């Protein structure tokens, strides 16, 4: 068995902040390649949120804020590579099936490299542009061992801070995103 990221949905927020939310339980990759021909500075609304914090689910090609480390069989890994290769060929203009498969293998290998944690570990992603290059940062969220002192709030996970992080986290206005989506329907 190998380990791969699998989409996770703890609440309905992904259905509000992303144009297409991944269904829970899909194999996933970071998916930064999905933005290769776009100017990150020009991204707005849901597309900007997909860029900033999305993992790409490999069944419906929707986005997920969180993934969990999960064990995958060789057959499941092969199916994930096949799905991603087909998408890279059809949507992202790979010059041929061999090139698409090579790119998919590389992306799946990178996704697997993020999963050196016990199954069930939750991963989050932040993408940004620094000095003209896209940078991806990955964080692990761990279950809390004991409930917080304030029992009116019972968070399941705690964020592990990364030293040297200087960028303030983006806090999207979920209500305005939902309203904007409703106007576009």
**Calpha distance 37→59 (Å, rounded):** 22
Domain boundary assignment for the chain: 2-184
Mean pLDDT of the 65-79 span: 97
Mean pLDDT of the 112-126 span: 95
DSSP state of 27: B
Its pTM stands at 0.77
The pLDDT, as a whole number, for residue 154 is 45
Sheet holding 133-143, edge to edge: 2-8, 66-72, 122-130, 133-143, 157-159
Of the listed ranges 68-77, 110-119, 146-155, the least confidently predicted one is 146-155
Q: Are 31 and 84 within 8 A, CB to CB?
A: no
The pLDDT, as a whole number, for residue 58 is 97
Confidence of residue 37 (pLDDT cuts 50, 70, 90): confident
Distance of CA 154 to the CA centre of its chain: 25
């Amino acid at each position: 068995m190998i380990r791969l990221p699998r989409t996770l949905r703890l609440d309905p927020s992904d259905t509000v902040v992303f144009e297409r939310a991944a269904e829970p339980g899909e194999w996933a990759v970071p998916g930064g390649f999905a933005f290769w021909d776009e100017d990150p500075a020009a991204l707005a609304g849901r597309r900007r949120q997909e860029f900033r914090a999305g993992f790409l689910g490999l069944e419906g090609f929707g986005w997920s804020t969180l993934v969990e480390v999960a064990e995958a069989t060789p057959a499941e890994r092969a199916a994930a590579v096949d799905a991603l290769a087909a998408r890279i060929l059809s949507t992202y203009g790979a010059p041929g099936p061999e090139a698409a498969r090579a790119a998919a293998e590389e992306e799946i290998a990178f996704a697997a490299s993020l999963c050196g944690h016990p199954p069930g570990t939750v991963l989050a992603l932040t993408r940004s542009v620094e000095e003209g290059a896209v940078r991806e940062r990955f964080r692990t969220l761990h279950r809390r061992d004991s409930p917080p002192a304030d029992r009116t709030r019972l968070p399941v996970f705690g964020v592990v801070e990364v030293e040297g992080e200087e960028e303030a986290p983006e806090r999207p206005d979920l209500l305005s995103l939902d309203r904007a989506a409703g106007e576009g329907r």
